[in-house]
Amino acid sequence: MRKPLASVPQRLQRMILQFQKYNFTIIHRPGKDIPVADTLSRKSDQDTSLSEGMDIQVHTVYSSLPVSDSKLEEIRTQTEKDPQFQILKGVIQRGWPDEKRKCPLSVSEFWNHRDELSYLHGIIFKGEKIVVPTSLRSDMLSRVHASHLGIEKSKQRARDIMFWPGMGKEIENMISKCSIYLTYRPSNTKEPMISHKVPDRPWQVVATDLFTWNNEDYLVTVDYYSRYFELDKLHSTTSTAVISKLKASFARHSIPEAVISDNGPQYSSGEFETFARTSEFTHTTTSPYHLQSNGLAEKSVHTVKMLLVKAKADKSDPYLSLLEYRNSPVDGFKSPAQLLMSRCLRSTLPKTNQQLLPKVVSYKNVRAKRLHK
């Protein structure tokens, strides 16, 4: 009863909602300590109102899953074909035994999660997360590692949306054997940079920088609060082209109070100075001989380059890599998308409707964690 509603099996969610208006304490008493059977355990008449309400609740949860019908059908089909899942389905529907040693050996790995497991329309859930059948796990691992991110980010990304026992270990094994990740992973840890003042809210302070990759010019604009970045391809590196892309980003996310950039000709021109004045933001330039002073922009450029390089090496869609990065937790925080827009972004990985609903992240907690780091 103390668990978050989203982590409770669907069969118990409606009961918890109905009990919210009551203030009560649950005390467990073993059957051997109850000499006389209580009234409810011997009640012969069945009240169908709760089960009818539960049927509506279950149907609502299932029908709102933002997963394509074909993917749901594939998960359902593979669940029916999986011998372990068929045994697990029976245990869930009949009820788990009192002791682990009485549990079927093939599903004993689910014992510690038994209170969160439920069976709904041919699919097994752990809270709001889909329990992935064995035959589909390799495909899901490939989707999680589509951006060729590190082990911790990939594990955090996977744990947000799906589940199976030993998933974290399988992710570690897969990434440790990924040639693209091993080729392009950072080789040396640099000395920590002295950070700028921590912003109070999203898109209050942004950094921007230009870079060239694959003979094409790009502009990166990154938010100091959420680490969410915008990537724009430039057809020209003039101040006019840079200002045009920045205006588009500001129209989406609002005009920041401060913009930090290097002292390149695009940013030191009179045209950019006029843009800063008319848009009413403070423009701060850093030393051209000390790139670390614009460290967040430089780090974001490095991140974007690695995403593009890995996507090219893997012959995959770079935009999916960018999407997965924006959905992946950063530095132990929520994902950039959650910090900036208070929501997860829908991607090719299956997510429930509950996980996609907007949820505001406390800016006080985020700022306190940033200050601590």
Q: What confidence score (pLDDT) does residue 241 get?
A: 95
CA–chain centroid gap for 54, Å, is 29
At 54, is the pLDDT very low, low, confident or very high (cuts 50, 70, 90)?
very low
Q: Are 227 and 339 a contacting pair, CB within 8 Å?
A: yes
Mean pLDDT of all residues in the chain? 84
Instruction: Report pLDDT digits (tens) over 93-134.
Output: 888 998 888 999 999 999 998 888 888 888 898 877 889 999
Q: What confidence score (pLDDT) does residue 67 get?
A: 63
Count of beta carbons in the 10 Å neighbourhood of residue 77: 14
Among 17-31, 43-57, 356-370, which is the least confidently predicted range? 43-57
Whether pLDDT at 290 is above 60: no
Report d(CA 197, CA 217) in Å as an integer. Answer: 29
- For residue 157, which of 173, 141, 144 has the smallest C-alpha distance? 144
Among 70-79, 232-241, 298-307, which is the least confidently predicted range? 70-79
DSSP string, 136-149: GHHHHHHHHTTT--
Q: Are 216 and 225 a contacting pair, CB within 8 Å?
A: no
User: Any alpha helices (H) in 83-133, and if so which ranges?
Assistant: 83-94
**Backbone dihedral region of 151: left (phi > 0), alpha (psi from -120 to 50 degrees) or beta?**
alpha
Whether pLDDT at 239 is above 50: yes
Query: CA quadruple 182, 186, 189, 193: dihedral positive or negative?
Result: negative
At position 180, the amino acid (one-letter code) is: I
Q: What confidence score (pLDDT) does residue 306 get?
A: 93
Q: What are phi and psi of 64, to 5 degrees?
A: -95, 5
Instruction: Report pLDDT digits (tens) over 182-211.
Output: 888 776 655 565 567 888 899 999 999 999
Whether pLDDT at 11 is above 80: no
Containing 245, the helix (H) or strand (E) segment is helix 239-253
Q: Residue length, the chain?
A: 373
Q: Are 123 and 86 a contacting pair, CB within 8 Å?
A: no
Containing 118, the helix (H) or strand (E) segment is strand 117-120
Whether pLDDT at 47 is above 70: no
Q: What confidence score (pLDDT) does residue 9 get?
A: 61
- Choose between 159 and 18: higher pLDDT: 159
* Three-class secondary structure of residue 275 per DSSP: helix
Q: Of 69-78, 310-319, 362-371, which one has max mean pLDDT?
A: 310-319
| Joined tokens for residue 292 | 């670390």
Q: What confidence score (pLDDT) does residue 50 get?
A: 47
Helix and strand counts by DSSP (H, E) for the chain: 16, 9
User: What is the percentage of the chain residues whose pLDDT exceeds 90?
Assistant: 45
At 283, is the pLDDT very low, low, confident or very high (cuts 50, 70, 90)?
very high
Instruction: Report pLDDT digits (tens) over 136-187.
Output: 999 989 888 888 888 888 898 888 888 999 999 999 999 988 888 888 877 6
| Joined tokens for residue 152 | 């911790």
At 41, is the pLDDT very low, low, confident or very high (cuts 50, 70, 90)?
low
Between strands 162-163 and 129-131, the pairing is parallel
Report d(CA 20, CA 148) in Å as an integer. Answer: 44
Q: What confidence score (pLDDT) does residue 129 get?
A: 83
Containing 82, the helix (H) or strand (E) segment is none
